[in-house]
């Protein structure tokens, strides 16, 4: 295991009707004027937005609002939010929604405290040191942004989808009420489940040895997802299954299952080009890319893939042919994704073979560049993975 420091300061308030506490929570963390930031309308339709406003008003907290964050959130909304926060003297941002609303809130929070262009943090020009405090009321178990120090934004100039990271954007609090996720369409639920599993796999496939504790934590999250996801696809109102998935989504991405080990993250990078170009759901893109990536890199460490096959997918170890077991595990992952309604190739996603050169170019590795922690990939490898996903 490698040395690490683990900082996860977010206060999680979990359970039924917990959104009623967000006014008191904002006050606890020093907010007096809040920007409520949300997406395309689901929080209005469900009545959640009204309940959040009531909670803020009851706590004596002033607020203004900015809705309209799109999935795969865009830079334009971030600039709008930064201007609004400055004009209204906002000192706390409350994201009500999923990863997109939360990531947009984090970008605004950084941008308000920065003299330059907020995009500097996403282009790699600058590292965030200061941000307005952010709180979240989560409505979908997926991205894990409610507990992460990450934000992913797409710049409309060039449609570049890029991430920024920093401890200053870890939410001060996150309200997790599984009841709020019952209004999700089955497809969106499945996209979220895929993303959660992908966050674990990005960490599970590592070159670091002697990481049994985090291996076993990863496997526990994956096994829970395999057990619970079909339950909510069948019955969207299954509270207990929704609750387990919601907590899994947080655990999968605040890095508790990834500390002390090298991580990969190539599948995410390769997927982000798909959701930037086609505006597909991030989880759906991962369902197409991740099994293809696994198949492409399996020879790098056949025994690690065989371990996944046996411990997670209940395959029987073939000691005379471990690669056969490894491939069975990957096939089991792909059929699970199919069973929950995910696309598993380019055409099911609506992606085009003819776009592959563009996708590789915007991935931006150049001729000799390499990326990834488990297996270093070149542009040619990235192209091969897109082709395997056809
Ligand atoms: O916009 P509204 O109307 O709210 O509708 C949303 C949206 O259309 C809808 N939705 C959310 N909760 C709902 C609901 N519909 C009905 N009932 C509810 N309770 O679902 C759609 C998707 O929402 P979105 O916020 O986009 O989903 P998700 O949480 O999957 O976030 C995806 C974004 O997060 C990024 C992705 O790349 C993508 O841009 N990621 C962020 C990460 C992070 N910050 O740590 C890590 C991830 O790997 C990921 O890259
Ligand atoms: Zn993800």
Main-chain phi, psi angles of 284, to 5 degrees: -65, -40
pLDDT of residue 164: 97
In ligand 1, the atom with minimum distance to the C-alpha of 101 is 25
Helix H segments across 46-167? Answer: 48-58, 75-88, 99-112, 120-123
Question: E strands within the chain?
Answer: 11-14, 33-38, 62-66, 92-97, 134-138, 150-155, 160-165, 173-176
Q: Is 222 in the pocket of ligand 1 (CB under 6 A)?
A: no
Pocket test for ligand 1, best of 144, 163, 176, 282 (most atoms within 8 A of CB): 282
Burial of 231 (0-12, 13-18, 19+ CB in 10 A): middle
> Ligand 2 centre from 30 Cα, in Å?
30
364: nearest Cα among 279, 291, 272: 272
Cα–ligand 2 centroid distance for 54 (angstroms)? 32
CB distance 184 to ligand 1 below 6 Å: yes
Among 73, 152, 189, 242, residue to substitute to test ligand 1 (most atoms within 8 Å of Cβ): 152
In testing the pocket of ligand 1, which one of 108, 188, 194, 278 has its CB within 8 Å of the most ligand atoms? 188
> 226 and 377 in contact (C-beta within 8 Å)?
no
* Cα–Cα dist 77/100, whole Å: 11
- Distance in Å, CA 249 to ligand 1 centroid: 12
**Residue ranges of the domains in the chain?**
11-180, 186-388
Instruction: Extract the tokens encoding 48.
Output: 């959640």
Q: Say what the pLDDT of residue 367 is.
A: 65
Comparing CA positions, the residue from 136, 170, 147 lying closest to residue 48 is 136
Encode pLDDT of 311-362 as tens digits: 999 999 999 999 999 999 999 999 999 999 999 999 999 999 999 999 999 9
Alpha-carbon distance 300 to 385, whole Å? 15
Written as one string, the DSSP assignment of 301-323 is: -HHHHHHHHHHHH-PPP-TT-HH
Provide the pairing of β-strand 11-14 with 150-155. unpaired
Confirm or reject: Cβ of 150 under 6 Å from ligand 1. Answer: yes
Instruction: Mark out the alpha helices in 92-158 (DSSP H runs).
Output: 99-112, 120-123
CA distance linking residue 179 with residue 212, whole number of Å: 34
Which residue minimizes the CA distance to atom 39 of ligand 1? 72
In CATH terms, the fold of domain 186-388 is Dehydroquinate synthase-like, alpha domain (1.20.1090)
Taking only Cα atoms into account, the Rg of the chain, rounded to an integer number of angstroms, comes to 20
Q: What is the pLDDT of residue 89?
A: 98
Ligand 1 atom 25, closest CA: 98
Q: Is 189 in the pocket of ligand 1 (CB under 6 A)?
A: no
Q: How far apart are CA 258 and CA 268, in angstroms?
A: 15
Of the listed ligands, the closest to the CA of 194 is 2
List, for residues 68-116, the tens digit of each pLDDT value.
Answer: 999 999 999 999 999 999 999 999 999 999 999 999 999 999 999 999 9
Whole-number pLDDT of residue 381: 96
Facing residues of 162 across strands? 153
Same fold for the pair 11-180 and 186-388: no
Residues in the chain predicted with pLDDT less than 50, given as ranges, are none
Which ligand neighbours the alpha carbon of 253 most closely? 1
Q: Are 114 and 108 in contact (CB under 8 A)?
A: no
User: Structurally, what CATH architecture does the domain formed by 11-180 represent?
Assistant: 3-Layer(aba) Sandwich (3.40)
């Amino acid at each position: 295991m490698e040395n690490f420091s683990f900082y996860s300061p977010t206060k999680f308030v979990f359970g039924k009707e917990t959104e009623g506490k967000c006014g008191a929570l904002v006050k606890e963390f020093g907010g007096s004027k809040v920007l409520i930031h949300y997406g395309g309308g689901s929080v209005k339709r469900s009545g959640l937005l009204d309940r959040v406003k009531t909670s803020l008003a009851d706590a004596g907290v002033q607020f203004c609002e900015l809705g309209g964050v799109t999935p795969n959130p865009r830079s334009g909304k971030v600039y709008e939010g930064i201007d609004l926060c400055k004009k209204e003297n906002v000192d706390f941002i409350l994201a009500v929604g999923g990863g997109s609303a939360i990531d947009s809130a984090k970008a605004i929070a950084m941008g308000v405290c920065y003299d330059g262009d907020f995009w500097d943090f996403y282009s790699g020009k600058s590292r965030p040191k200061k941000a307005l405090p952010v709180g979240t009321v989560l409505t979908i178990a997926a991205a894990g942004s409610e507990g992460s120090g990450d934000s992913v934004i797409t710049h409309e100039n060039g449609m570049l989808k890029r991430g920024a990271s920093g401890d200053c954007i870890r939410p001060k609090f996150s309200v997790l009420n599984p009841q709020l996720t019952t209004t999700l369409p089955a497809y969106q639920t499945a996209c979220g489940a895929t993303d959660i599993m992908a966050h674990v796999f990005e960490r599970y496939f590592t070159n670091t040895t002697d990481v049994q504790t985090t291996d076993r934590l990863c496997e526990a999250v994956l096994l829970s997802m395999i057990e619970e996801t079909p339950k909510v696809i069948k019955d969207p109102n299954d509270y207990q299954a929704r609750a387990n998935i919601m907590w899994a989504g947080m655990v999968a991405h605040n890095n508790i299952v990834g500390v002390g080990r090298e991580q990969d993250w190539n599948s995410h990078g390769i997927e982000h080009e798909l959701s930037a170009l086609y505006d597909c759901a991030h989880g759906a893109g991962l369902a197409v890319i991740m099994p293809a990536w696994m198949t492409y890199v399996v020879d790098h460490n056949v025994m690690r893939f065989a371990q996944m096959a046996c411990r997670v997918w209940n395959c029987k170890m073939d000691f005379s042919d471990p690669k056969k077991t490894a491939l069975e595990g990957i096939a089991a992952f792909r059929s699970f994704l199919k069973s929950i309604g995910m696309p598993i190739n380019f055409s099911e996603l609506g992606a085009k073979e003819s776009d592959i050169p563009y996708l590789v170019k915007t991935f931006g590795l150049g001729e000799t560049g390499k990326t990834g922690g488990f297996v270093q990939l070149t542009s040619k490898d990235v192209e091969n993975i897109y082709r395997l996903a056809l």
